Amino acid sequence: MNKYTVVVCDHIHEAGLKMLQDDENINFIMAADEPKDKLKTEILPNADVAITRSSTDVDDLFLANATNLKAVVRAGVGVDNVDIPGCSKQGIIVMNVPTANTIAAVELTMAHMLSCMRMFPYSHDHLKNQRIWKREKWYGYELKGKKLGVIGFGNIGSRVAKRAQAFEMDIVAFDPYINPTKVTDLDMTYTKDFQDILDCDVITIHTPKNKETIGIIGEEEIAKMKDGVVLVNCARGDLYNEDALYDGLKSGKIRFAGIDVFGKEPAINNKLLDLENIVVSPHLGANTYESQYNIGTQAANNAIEAAKGIAYPHAMNLPIDESTIPKFVKPFLEMGQKIGFLESQMSKSQIISIKVTGHGEIAEYVDSLSTFVAVGAMSQNSGDTINYVNAEFVAKEKGIKIETEASVDSSVYKNLITIKLTTSEGTTTISATIFDDNVQRLVNIDGFDIDVALRGDMIMFKNSDVPGVIGSIGSVLANNDVNIADFSLARNDQNEALAVILVDNAVSEKSLSELAMLDACLSVNYARV
């Protein structure tokens, strides 16, 4: 009987190790205490599957020696230490275990929330370490009757909301990528107006870390909050701007904060630690015995299934054997994912359906293309939990319909893809191609024929086709120190125009608001790809 070799590169729960030891089809190698050079050069060449954590980097040396490897299982959520593109080039599937620590993160959030309201760590220190009994110093606040703003209503955010509801808090949820009934069916309030979150007594965030969510709470948002607000972040570092958070805490605008994650870790020198109105923990979201058991056993199960070729749970990539497909296909797959991501940013609302049409030779690969598009479109909300293997299942779970259409005749273009994204707010349709210069080009946006590169920071400005608009746009951007890199203009037969403006730097909400206030403006959208 052939056995599959699974190498455990870092320590996982003993229950996971036992699963590997007890499987008669698995040759189990425990290498967590081996020097990393020896692991990579002497042990990995025999591995079918490797299980890693944060202590082992899946880097060039790792991949150069992993000549027999089918899969890498990252025992945890984050995959920052895994070279996913490098794995894909070698046909190695990368998997993680994204839901194993859900309850641990939920309960830690509640612990921080309660600690902020009652200042438990400080009163504990006062009595136990300083031996001072001074009850009158430690008046806190009750959760009952307070309004809790939940940013991100996924696996963790929704569970936090349910537990807070048991404390008789009023819940307001902000998540433009879910069906509002997911919130309202729980007798909670769903909002699309972020100001409703800023008006809450307590705010907690549970989103992926991406371009849209980094710094989602900053100086401007804190200024709009009520005095004495409490902020909690047990999700990802940098979702709250740390400088703005520091200033808000120091001024008293923010009464208290509970923080488990930081922009740079270990955060032993972070200035937030100097404040007396903050409760901190060293990234303990997954640090429970139960979650470590879940992580270990799920990682072991993933490794066993991958080694045997049964399944690849929570795969993060789609291995592409470039020798079996024409070279022109892969750039179209990448472009399709970017367009899905672009369109989801333009709408920022619940996705209803995705239709992908391929014209020309690329039509033969339209099913694979639809998977990449779906990953791009859903990644705004799903973050680490969306991947090429589970995209179809996640879409079905969210009630998103995915359609494909193939047309051998591409008329004007040798190869053309068209992606139609329908959301609760409307429909966006974008067509794109790749010319001989290998530059990805958008050639039609919602019926406007245009020619613009798909890259960087993009403003899409739709307006009534009247004189002076281009100058007004330029003035607004110049006044906000935004430099224009490219300006493409298209017109239709309804006396409307569309400008797609590539800029050199990020565009603030203030700039977008000023553009929206221009008399001729019909709509303005901003995206980063």
Q: Do 81 and 114 have their domain in common?
A: no
Say if 313 falls within a structural domain.
no
Tokens of 231: 């902020």
Q: Do 15 and 143 have their domain in common?
A: no
Say if 22 falls within a structural domain.
yes
Q: Do 85 and 117 have their domain in common?
A: no
Contacts of 201 (CB under 8 A, 6+ apart): 146, 147, 148, 226, 228, 229, 230
The beta strands (E) that lie in 11-123 are given as: 26-30, 49-52, 71-74, 93-96
Q: Do 148 and 239 have their domain in common?
A: yes
Say if 335 falls within a structural domain.
yes
Tokens of 61: 């040396």
Q: Do 83 and 120 have their domain in common?
A: no
Q: Which residues are catalytic, by number? A: 236, 265, 283
- Residue ending a domain, among 260, 280, 300, is 280
CB neighbour class for 31 (10 Å; exposed up to 12, middle 13-18, buried from 19): buried
Tokens of 30: 């425990």
d(CA 8, CA 73): 9
CATH number for position 416: 3.30.1330.90
Say if 529 falls within a structural domain.
no
Contacts of 513 (CB under 8 A, 6+ apart): none
Domain that holds residue 125: 102-280
- Residue ending a domain, among 280, 299, 319, is 280
Helix (H, G, I), strand (E, B) or coil at 465: coil
CATH number for position 153: 3.40.50.720
Among candidate residues 152, 141, 139, the one with its CA nearest the CA of residue 178: 152
Contacts of 281 (CB under 8 A, 6+ apart): 108, 112, 259, 260
Q: Do 270 and 297 have their domain in common?
A: no
Say if 323 falls within a structural domain.
no
Say if 318 falls within a structural domain.
no
The residues pairing with 127 across neighbouring beta strands, listed in sequence order, are none
Q: Give CA torsion, residues 5, 8, 9, 10, to 10 deg.
A: 180
pTM over 0.75: no
Provide the pLDDT for residue 169: 98
d(CA 454, CA 434): 10
- Number of domains forming the structure of the chain: 3
Provide the pLDDT for residue 77: 80
d(CA 135, CA 149): 30
Helix (H) or strand (E) holding 280: strand 278-280
Q: Do 256 and 126 have their domain in common?
A: yes
Residue type, 434: I
pLDDT tens string 39-98: 999 999 999 999 999 889 999 999 999 999 999 999 988 787 899 888 877 878 999 998
Q: Do 160 and 197 have their domain in common?
A: yes
The beta strands (E) that lie in 348-439 are given as: 351-360, 401-407, 415-423, 426-434
Q: Give CA torsion, residues 117, 122, 124, 127, to 10 deg.
A: -130
DSSP state, residue 510:
H
Q: Do 34 and 121 have their domain in common?
A: no
Provide the pLDDT for residue 320: 55
Q: Do 517 and 375 have their domain in common?
A: yes
Q: Do 184 and 295 have their domain in common?
A: no
Q: Do 267 and 393 have their domain in common?
A: no
Average confidence (pLDDT) per 10 residues, the chain, 529 residues: 90 96 94 95 95 93 94 87 85 87 96 97 94 94 98 94 98 92 96 97 93 93 98 96 98 98 95 97 94 96 89 74 70 90 88 94 90 86 65 83 84 88 93 84 94 92 94 95 94 93 91 94 91
Provide the pLDDT for residue 133: 96
Provide the pLDDT for residue 1: 58
